[in-house]
Structure 1
Amino acid sequence: MSQKKNDRRGLGRGLSALMADVNIASQDSVTEKPARPEQVLPIEKIEPNPDQPRRSFDEKLLQDLANSISEKGIIQPLIVRPSPRKPNTYEIVAGERRWRASQIAQVHDIPVIIRELDDTEVLEVAIIENIQRSDLNPVEEAIGYRQLMDRFGHTQEKVASALSKSRSYIANLLRLLQLPDDVQAMLREGLLSTGHARALITSENPSELAKKVVAEGLSVRETERLVKQGMSEPVKRTLKPSKDADTKAIEGDLSAALGMKTIIDHAQGKENGKLTIQYKSLEQLDELCRILSTTR
């Protein structure tokens, strides 16, 4: 037992092999066959990890994944372990989104890779897998970092190094957990940005100020001024001039032609400006590059 404790000296001990399986099992982009032998289990024999850090799953994204599974099947296996609570049952280590989407798609059998992992390894992999996902909201990400530190004794420096983040990035996210629950809920729902939330941390009444920020659609700069002056004075707002109809029409035409949101910021009274094209995936970026390269 003592030898096992000594083996787990720091973040990442033994995780290279575990996370290799997690990366193999990424349904979103990987299409190669898994490097480890897989098995097929009935879906009713698989249950979620009760300690899964992720609590919210976007219903629309789950439905999109379910549609993909219905059409193409489950391309990559889930990572599971024998359940320590129920005999002949397996607990998800990585891939709960695919498991949920498979239920929506009414899939009966699921490909899996079975690993023998203890509770600590399962939790550590679950936390890191969730942190590495790009669609976590800031509160979920901060909770993941806090769990890594509290449950495994890791420092901010060690977490930052292992996950290729700066220590200040980790520290700033962790500060969000100081906010009241109702403000964290606004941050989870996207009503507040991380910049708004960071500005509210130093406020004596963040809940009331957060409601005002959301109700009035204040920017981060305006929120910072609001925190400094409190609720007593109205916030002086700097409004950008509205765009003319021609600019809006061009934006609409470009967005429709490219299939991507296009924003034109034309310098007032001048002939120069800025064109911004927003892409949602690497596939869209590839398509944009293709379009630009063929129009030379």
Structure 2
Amino acid sequence: MAVKKKGLGRGLDALFPEKSVKPAEKKPEQKPVATNESLHQQEEGSLNASVVKSAAETKDTAQATVVEEPKKSEMLVKISKVEPNRTQPRKQFDEDALLELSESIKQFGILQPLLVSDKGDYYEIIAGERRWRAAKLAGLKEVPVIIKEFNDQQVVEISLIENIQREDLNPIEEAMAYKRLIDEFKLKQDNIAERVSKSRTAVTNSLRLLKLDERVQQMLIDEMISAGHARAILAITDKDKQTSVAMKVFDEKLSVRETEKLVKHIVEPPKKTQKTVNTAEDAIYESLEEKMKGIMGTRVFIHRKKNNKGKIEIEYYSRDELERIIELFESIR
């Protein structure tokens, strides 16, 4: 399992202009922040701290310190005045995890304020929708917020980075967010990869998932198949066949490797020996093949030799299917 990154990479730093660098000076003592159980601590992360503060590097001096922006005033607002960003990448939230977080909030409160944008008659969440949902479940009437303004592209990038770093997005949500950055803001895949601290290949593979049939995409969202299965199925261009194979993968619990073999067989079926003359005998054997396929429920080939000899080839794609075929033979005895 991949280890989660703790930092936000270079993504958020790219969103803010560099700030001036001053000689090192003694900082006033800061009050230690109360800690919480790991669940709440993961949620509060380092995102909002990175938004409020960014560092500039200098080549002229050997040592420099981060110059903080003036701290945005934190304020309490009615929770009913706060609304989620309807265009944020994440659409699904784990109800059990939200309940756990709400219990933690009941005990400790919200340790890190929500980052919001002032929309006049309401505040729109830039970062912290999970905290907001958990706070509603906990029965809070007010939530702490920090108001900061961003353009539309920055809001998408912040939401995307926040969710990717916590691995909260399903593969389709992540791909849709990348697509929006490309379509609406004309970003290149290289730019996106740099912002979210991923390889360009990872971004490309993510976007390819949107070529799947919508039914297969939903199976991926519902975790009926994995992203590895989905990438294997992409080799099939026919949408109905994609769905059929995805259902077979789910029903028979095929591994990614087994799925790749199955897809390869569909895309590149074994070539039959070229027949120069289509005789009546050929038609008979083809009819027998089709009849056996109907009985066996899988591909069957009759390979003829001289003197009416030959062999029958029966294909199977998993251990379960092999056992099914054996049971079929046993029932015939």
Q: Normalising by the residue count of structure 2, what TM-score does the alignment of the two structures yield?
A: 0.60
**Offset of 1:125 from its aligned partner?**
2.2
2:218 alignment partner in structure 1:
185
Are positions 1:15 and 2:96 aligned together?
no
Please say if residues 172 and 210 of structure 2, whose CA atoms lie closer than 8 Å, have aligned partners that are also in contact: yes
Quick one: which amino acid aligns to residue 203 of structure 2?
Answer: I
The one of 138, 147, 153 equivalent to 2:186 is 153
Q: Which has the larger radius of gyration?
A: 2
Q: SS of the residue aligned with 1:81?
A: strand
**Offset of 1:109 from its aligned partner?**
1.0
Quick one: which amino acid aligns to residue 113 of structure 1?
Answer: I
Quick one: which amino acid aligns to residue 108 of structure 1?
Answer: K
CA distance in 1, matches of 2:197, 2:160: 15
CA distance in 1, matches of 2:175, 2:152: 21
The one of 121, 125, 128 equivalent to 1:95 is 128
**Offset of 1:28 from its aligned partner?**
3.6
Superposition pairs of residues 1-296 of structure 1, within 5 angstroms: 15-16=15-16, 28-29=41-42, 30=44, 36=71, 37-83=73-119, 87-203=120-236, 204=238, 205-230=241-266, 232-233=298-299, 235-237=316-318
CA distance in 1, matches of 2:218, 2:128: 25
Please say if residues 89 and 169 of structure 2, whose CA atoms lie closer than 8 Å, have aligned partners that are also in contact: no
Q: Name the % identity.
A: 44
Q: SS of the residue aligned with 1:88?
A: coil
Q: SS of the residue aligned with 1:211?
A: helix
Q: What value does the CA root-mean-square deviation take over the aligned residues? A: 2.7
Deviates more, 1:95-104 or 1:230-239: 230-239
Deviates more, 1:54-63 or 1:221-230: 221-230
Please say if residues 103 and 138 of structure 2, whose CA atoms lie closer than 8 Å, have aligned partners that are also in contact: yes
Q: SS of the residue aligned with 1:195?
A: helix
CA distance in 2, matches of 1:232, 1:158: 47
> Unaligned 5+ residue runs, structure 2?
1-10, 18-32, 34-38, 53-70, 267-296, 300-314, 321-333
Residues 162/121 of structure 1: CA separation in 2 closer, same or farther (3 Å cut): closer
**Offset of 1:106 from its aligned partner?**
0.3
Please say if residues 138 and 187 of structure 1, whose CA atoms lie closer than 8 Å, have aligned partners that are also in contact: yes
CA distance in 1, matches of 2:113, 2:124: 13
> Unaligned 5+ residue runs, structure 1?
1-10, 18-23, 240-296
- Aligned residue pairs total 219
Deviation >6 Å, runs of 4+: 31-35
**Offset of 1:121 from its aligned partner?**
2.9
Q: SS of the residue aligned with 2:192?
A: helix
CA distance in 2, matches of 1:49, 1:219: 37
Residues 146/112 of structure 1: CA separation in 2 closer, same or farther (3 Å cut): same
CA distance in 1, matches of 2:206, 2:225: 14
Please say if residues 176 and 197 of structure 1, whose CA atoms lie closer than 8 Å, have aligned partners that are also in contact: yes
Quick one: higher RCO (CA 8 Å, sep 6+), 1 or 2? 2
Residues 116/166 of structure 1: CA separation in 2 closer, same or farther (3 Å cut): closer
1:259 alignment partner in structure 2:
none
